Chain A
Amino acid sequence: MSPETVGALAGEPGGLTVRVESFVGPLDLLLHLCRTNEMDLAHLSVRTITDQYLTHLESVRFQDLETAGSFMVMAATLIYLKSKLLLPAGPDDGAEALDEEGEILRQELAERLREYARIKAVGAWLALREAEQALLFGRTSSELPPPEDVPLEDLSVHLLQRALQRLIEEQKRQAPREIEPNPLSVLERMNEILALLRHTWSLLFSSVAGRERIRAEWVVTLLALLELVRLGQVRARQAEPFGEITIEKNALSVSEPARAAMPDDRGPDGERANE
């Protein structure tokens, strides 16, 4: 871009004609907005950048969900900061008075922007170096016979992993693929048991686990049952070793969805039977 164009852009505040797709991330966009507004990073104007950021966001075409997410997180932070400005300010406060938490957030944001600006500049410098070096041609493969010991210094686990992955994928392509039904989830099975118990007082384990005696089914059902017992939602009784298990509704428990009682996200709903 020529200096004239840059001047023209900075000159008129409405002239924010930007190719939005070229922004690498939310910080990139934000930094650009700060610069077009001639804004001092130490005194970020939350109101201005929030409005402009949101305006730009509408026209951004995201490559993937994750990138979209990172833009949204930034939007949420900005809106949160701006919402703090709506609270009545004290008499001594300036135009954009934030409470302590808001001020810390703003400082953090400014620091991240500064850091990103540095990285961006170094990235540009590297691009320049790369272009320069591309004009120099040196030998890419040796004229000498390869040394007996393979230099390992620049190899990494990653390359090994990649090689193995390629081999495995090759194998997979050759072998006929077995199509498996959706893996069972413990949580689903727990809810199934609870649903069945809504209509009856007791169940037989075998009737829930299925007659075909598929190992995965039985394991998932047993795990689901144990979890329900732990949560105090059902009781289980087995008269003799390897005998039939009777599942009973726990009279004391209030029937509630199992998810609410999950200890954390590493609970049974994360486990898949076929893995």
Chain B
Amino acid sequence: MSEAVDVLEALLFASDAPIEAERIQEVLELDSPAAARELADALRRRLDGEGRALQVLEVGGGFRLVTRPEVAPWLVKLQRSKTKSRLSRPALETLAIIAYRQPVSRPDVDAIRGVNSEGVLDNLLDRRMIRIGGRKDSPGRPFLYETTREFLVAFGLRDVSDLPKVEGELMVPDAAAAEGAGEAADAGEVAAAADSPQQDPGASGPDVAPRS
């Protein structure tokens, strides 16, 4: 026992926050952060290979040990409570604006959304998805908002560059699937098919897959 990879497993098991490669290097007295990454990779391969219920996730600038999605139903049952309340559509859209434009002020967020975002921002602040990063050097010196590490963890992102790249017009998801991604986006027009106001955001995944 007590091979480096075992120790790393223990570290990730005991920690509530993602552990950075630098921190792993420090604790395990490794030569470089790269060595720590290799170790994390080795642990990932081991867990995957043994078909264990746990997996190593790289989120929020560090590594984290979480369960696999397949076992989620039992965990929900164990919890005996409802899963965490999801963010509303306005909250997600506001979060998207902040994630791409950060640091960004409320007037700028309002302008893009076309509605007042005060309540939504308060909600996001309370849920620690965003924080106040400073003040803008413009009249009224409004607060500037930016996303937090909790945001990255909650959405399973390594860092903000993990967000999908959006340029030009995004297509309506249904149409994107039908026409094949890419072409319609270049044309810079709304894809032909009608789109309902999205009740089910899950339907719109494919056209904004993350960059790898």
Contact = CB atoms under 8 A, between A and B. Distances in A.
A219 interface: no
Nearest to B10: A143
A1 interface: yes
Nearest to A28: B197
Interface in A143-190: 143-144, 153-159, 162
Interface in A116-167: 116-144, 153-159, 162
Interface in A4-27: 5-7, 9-10, 18-19, 22-27
Contact of B113 (A24, A135, A141, A158): A24
B117 to A, nearest CB: 10
B155 A126 contact: yes
A23 B203 CA distance: 18
B64 A10 contact: no
Contacts of B58: none
Contacts, number: 213
A139 to B, nearest CB: 5
B191 to A, nearest CB: 8
B29 interface: no
Nearest to A32: B197
Nearest to A154: B148
Contacts of A18: 196-197
A70 interface: yes
B180 interface: no
A124 B88 CA distance: 10
Given A136-B67, A139-B13, A24 B196 contact: no
Interface in A248-265: none
Contacts of B143: 158
B181 to A, nearest CB: 12
A157 B132 contact: yes
Contacts of A138: 16, 57, 64-67
A197 B72 CA distance: 79
